[in-house]
């Protein structure tokens, strides 16, 4: 952390994100973020109006990262069913890789941290195309919601530790199995 401290909005978001990943969302105070950058808390107010604005920016970044991870995962796959399967896997992989960031963006119901466009539109637009290839454009929206619900629900219960009591092992297989069950249902409908 050298002297011309080179602090800007981007590095602050980055530092906050790292802190959230390592110490959880509750461990993020402005002074902690500042300390990670070699700077005191009040300095951050030059770049963000308040803490909420900073966390919103973090969520925006998380949503963008998740979306591009999904796009990257689905793109190389040849057929629609494989794309959907790849999307499911990439979704869970992202949540496992960044559980605290994922939770902050998608699990906290707090309205002030919500970033509508980034979280829902961006994500929805990218994925709806993939779904439409499988089930047709007119059924894409409800199926997208169902797909999202299944993936999010599985991951959220996992992260909350609620699957552990029934034997935590074999969750990878259980996830794939749930997806296969579901994709079977989709094709029927």
The site map against a second copy for 125-144 (x = CB under 8 A) is ----------------xxxx
Q: Which stretch binds a second copy (CB under 8 A): 29-37, 51-59, 64-72, 170-178?
A: 170-178
Residue 109, number of CB atoms within 10 A of its CB: 6
Copy the structure tokens of residue 154: 């599985």
Nearer to DNA, 60 or 128 (CB): 60
Q: Are 105 and 118 in contact (CB under 8 A)?
A: no
Q: Are 121 and 71 in contact (CB under 8 A)?
A: no
CA distance to 62, 88, 115, 139, per residue, from 59 (Å): 5, 21, 7, 29
Query: What is the nearest approach in angstroms of a second copy to the Cβ of residue 172?
Result: 12
**Residue 113 found at the interface with DNA (CB under 7 A):** no
**Residue 30 found at the interface with DNA (CB under 7 A):** yes
Nearer to a second copy, 2 or 165 (CB): 165
Alpha carbons 152 and 9: distance in angstroms, whole number = 30
**Residue 108 found at the interface with a second copy (CB under 8 A):** yes
**Residue 165 found at the interface with a second copy (CB under 8 A):** yes
Query: What is the nearest approach in angstroms of a second copy to the Cβ of residue 127?
Result: 11
């Amino acid at each position: 952390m050298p002297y011309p401290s080179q602090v800007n909005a981007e590095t602050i978001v980055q530092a906050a994100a790292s802190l959230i990943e390592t110490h959880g969302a509750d461990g993020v105070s402005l002074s902690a973020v500042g300390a990670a950058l070699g700077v005191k808390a009040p300095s951050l107010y030059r770049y963000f109006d308040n803490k909420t604005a900073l966390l919103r920016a973090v969520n925006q970044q998380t949503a963008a990262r998740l979306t591009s991870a999904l796009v990257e995962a689905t793109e190389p796959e040849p057929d629609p069913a494989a794309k959907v399967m790849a999307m499911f896997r990439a979704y869970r992989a992202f949540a496992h890789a960044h559980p605290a960031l994922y939770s902050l963006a998608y699990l906290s119901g707090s309205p002030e941290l919500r970033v509508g466009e980034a979280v829902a539109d961006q994500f929805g637009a990218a994925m709806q195309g993939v779904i439409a290839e499988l089930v047709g454009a007119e059924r894409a929206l409800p199926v997208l919601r169902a797909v999202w619900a299944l993936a999010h629900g599985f991951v959220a219960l996992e992260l909350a530790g609620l699957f552990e009591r029934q034997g935590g092992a074999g969750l990878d297989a259980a996830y794939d199995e749930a997806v296969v069950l579901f994709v079977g249902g989709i094709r029927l409908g």
